Amino acid sequence: MADSTIFDSTIELPMAELKQRAASLIGFERRFARVFANLKQLLAPDELKAWSTIHHGKLLPAIASLADRYPLVILAGDAGTGKTVSAEVIADRMVREMKKEGFFIKLSTRVRGEGLHGQMAQLVNDAFAQLKKLAGKDKLAFLLIDEADAIATSRATAQMHQEEKAAVNTLIQKIDETRELKGRTVVFMSTNRLHFLDEAIVRRAAIVMQFDRPDELERQELLEKELDGVSLTPKELAELVALTGPEVNTGIGYSFSDLRLRLVPEAIALAYPDKPLTFAALKEAVGNMQPSPPIQA
């Protein structure tokens, strides 16, 4: 199968645009620090061995066990909370930190709608073959299986087709094989429904990262960043933060995506082209919309 039908694109890392995007993400540094500390153990095992020797005078048995981990990161959480964008910027930052180059490919789940149902296992095979090919001598290769629940649904699901079960089995096998690539690949899987993912896959994840809608402080930080240059008093900003929170929105607050890609553009549309963006426009925009509904468990 031609690469173009499986992958949305192959991005070469590092990429300037992704670095910029990282700077605009609230809470990114904290998230990255955690992933990196974990994945470094897999991607740079020699450094870990050196650390063990320096600090313990020998190779700790635990170090050998670490090599049995899988370079798999699961990104789980509600819609519009930053799973897809985080996978990309984490990969970009990782190659920068490790002073390497790399590739990032994304397995498209669009194939579902293209009548390729029975070819899912083949698709998974192709994706990992491509990953292996890209993980050249000194390069890192990242694969994002976005909305992975479309492929990696628990095999315990009663109405699952044989072909789908085969795809999950293949996926597990391929994840197992990534360990042979000795720290040159990382697989990300994103999902809105962590509990739908096959248990054997979840068990293999080195990290399961939870993504949530922004809390009060995060909403404030995001609005301050996005609206830098708009004259808002602290009281007005606080009001916008409150109006977009769960308390006044039947328990569900605005997602990062709601704030950035819906609320602010809507307010700009009210002001543009002949007025500046004001608190009044932002407040009117909030009044015109509701937070996106949460993904039903």
Residue nearest to ligand ATP (CB): 82
- State the minimum distance, in angstroms, from the CB of residue 83 to Mg ion: 5
Q: Out of 10, 38, 52, 84, name the contact with Mg ion by CB under 5 A.
A: 84
Report which of 207, 221, 182 is spatially closest to residue 33, judged by C-alpha positions: 207
Q: Interacting stretch for ligand ATP, rule CB under 6 A, among 21-29, 42-50, 137-145, 167-175?
A: 21-29
Neighbours of 38 (CB within 10 A): 16
User: Does the protein bind Mg ion through residue 257 (CB under 5 A)?
Assistant: no
Report which of 264, 201, 260, 227 is spatially closest to residue 74, judged by C-alpha positions: 201
Report which of 18, 20, 16, 19 is spatially closest to residue 225, judged by C-alpha positions: 20
- Two tokens, residue 195: 């509990």
Q: Using DSSP, state whether 276 is helix, strand or coil.
A: coil
* Interface map 201-230 toward ligand ATP (x if CB under 6 A): ----------x----------x--------
**Residues 10, 14, 15: CA angle, nearest 5 degrees:** 75
Interface of this chain with ligand ATP, residues 118 to 147, rule: CB under 6 A: none
Measured CA distances, 189 to 57, 105, 122, 186 (Å):
37, 12, 18, 10
**Residues 71, 105, 63: CA angle, nearest 5 degrees:** 15
- Two tokens, residue 182: 């000795």
User: Does the protein bind Mg ion through residue 169 (CB under 5 A)?
Assistant: no
Q: Out of 108, 178, 185, 192, name the contact with ligand ATP by CB under 6 A.
A: 192
Report which of 177, 180, 185 is spatially closest to residue 91, judged by C-alpha positions: 185
Binder of residue 38, out of ligand ATP, Mg ion, none (CB less than 5 to 8 A by kind): none
Of residues 154 and 257, the one with the C-beta less far from ligand ATP: 257
Q: What φ, ψ does residue 49 adopt, rounded to 5°? A: -65, -40
Interface of this chain with ligand ATP, residues 58 to 117, rule: CB under 6 A: 79-85
- State the minimum distance, in angstroms, from the CB of residue 58 to ligand ATP: 41
Q: Where are the alpha helices (DSSP H) in the chain?
A: 3-6, 16-23, 28-43, 45-56, 61-66, 83-97, 120-134, 162-178, 199-204, 216-226, 234-243, 256-257, 264-271, 279-288
Q: Interacting stretch for Mg ion, rule CB under 5 A, among 76-84, 152-160, 197-205, 216-224?
A: 76-84
- State the minimum distance, in angstroms, from the CB of residue 257 to ligand ATP: 4
Binder of residue 85, out of ligand ATP, Mg ion, none (CB less than 5 to 8 A by kind): ligand ATP
Interface of this chain with ligand ATP, residues 239 to 278, rule: CB under 6 A: 256-257, 260-261
Of residues 2 and 16, the one with the C-beta less far from ligand ATP: 16
- Judged by CB under 6 A, the number of residues near ligand ATP is 19
Q: What residues line the site for Mg ion (CB under 5 A)? A: 84
Q: What residues line the site for ligand ATP (CB under 6 A)? A: 24-27, 79-85, 190, 192, 211, 222, 256-257, 260-261
